A and B are shown apart, each in its own frame.
Chain A
């Protein structure tokens, strides 16, 4: 279970998060929606300990990240897999080396065993036999899928998706959405995705939360969010140019 309790974060006097409270239950697929630059990525990076809060607690399976030793923090991180917005593939390595990186670093598997696992994960994301290619030879959609293969290589308990469909065409976006659903079914993972793509959010979420002005202002199932009476959430999910967000209203 992931718990974020009263998270505050500022960068150079700019308040980005102003008291985020969010709980993601085991096996749940949570999607956080919100406008560009509202702090969704910052929120996600807090969960991995990539950014530390100015105030508040991040608790993963009962462990407060702030009180973890270096070793404990690494053990917590091994429970996670993360798909970055731009895939963040290591460009000095081949696709196969990227996918097998975690296995090489943290397991005693032989080269052949790692290779076998790499092929299996690449097959899962629909890209068999591309392990010898380099990241700069891949399209945007392929990069995301290789990033996903790398994220699942260590068979994590929790998967984090940072804008998984941003920058992809509608068909490739749907391929990624299907993959996210397959990951959940295959590995029973807990997942958190951040996005502003509502088609993707409705498809992959068990629960949706909206981040606005540094706080989660509403959470609910996709149906509840679609029928919300909150004018801010309504404006965002309908993509209307007129409403409280563009008029600068506060919650």
Chain B
């Protein structure tokens, strides 16, 4: 019993320690965004890493998700003669949920892991210490530009994913399921309100923060050579996935 309680105590202490360090890193990086010198070159290169390089995989995921959603909802709605609502369901699902969430998961897998691996390698090869010895704050130099890039690029990626998902649904409905094009487009936009789009974009911005801060955190505190970098990379993806899924529920409840 005592051993069991000890184990729980250790786990709680580990969890609280990790939460504390993660929050501190986030706050320091956030402050770093507003503190000169402003390193535009670094910010642009991170926007390319996080955003531009994730574009193709995000759009492919969104397009096929919109397509499969159109197929599935058509099968369901056909049972009670409501096929004309497929466009509405695709648009609402993509803008409110699937666009931002899938974008978040895709970027977490692609850019989040890459951030953790890069910073983890820098940690174990003492490059982060070298930054400090050169009187450069490593959090402001490494974490702040990535945080800003995530915050700016995820909403853009999610907006593009929304458009691509809706187009994917349209193409399948009109050209494969022979829905009426004009009715489909009208149904898509008749029930779509601005809040559906805003809530999705807001979620994506939060996911951008989660992915970059978690990736940086896992890499920044990596230890133990190549094995440690591997653990940091896996840990970053798992933690970001969990936080995206859990925070998505709470944000949806907030915008409900």
Contact = CB atoms under 8 A, between A and B. Distances in A.
A and B part of one assembly: yes
Interface of A: 45, 48-50, 74-75, 77-78, 80-82, 84-86, 88-91, 101-102, 105-106, 150, 154
B127 A102 contact: no
Contact of A88 (B37, B125, B135, B136): B125
Contact of B134 (A45, A49, A102): A102
A84 B135 contact: no
A106 B129 contact: no
A78 B133 CA distance: 8
15 contacts: A45-B129, A50-B133, A74-B135, A77-B133, A77-B135, A78-B135, A80-B133, A84-B126, A88-B125, A89-B130, A90-B127, A90-B130, A101-B134, A105-B135, A105-B136
Contacts of A49: 132
A-B interface, 3 closest residue pairs, ranked by CB to CB distance from nearest: A88-B126, A88-B130, A77-B135
A89 to B, nearest CB: 8
Contacts of B122: 90
From B132, B133, B135, residue with most partner A Cβ within 10 Å:
B133
In which size bucket is the chain B interface?
A: 10 to 19
Interface string B22-51: 000000000000000100000000000000
Contacts of B130: 82, 84, 88-90
A106 B135 contact: yes
A84 B129 CA distance: 9
Q: Which of B121, B127, B130 has the most CB of A within 10 A?
A: B130
Interface string B168-207: 0000000000000000000000000000000000000000
B133 A82 contact: yes
A74 B132 CA distance: 9
Nearest to B121: A91
A88 B129 contact: yes
Interface in B122-163: 122, 125-127, 129-130, 132-136
Contact of B126 (A81, A85, A101, A102): A85
Contacts of A82: 130, 133
Contacts of B129: 45, 48, 50, 84, 88
B41 to A, nearest CB: 10
A49 B137 CA distance: 12
A154 B129 CA distance: 17
Nearest to B45: A92
A47 to B, nearest CB: 10
B134 A88 contact: no
A50 B123 CA distance: 12
A77 B126 contact: no
A102 B133 CA distance: 10
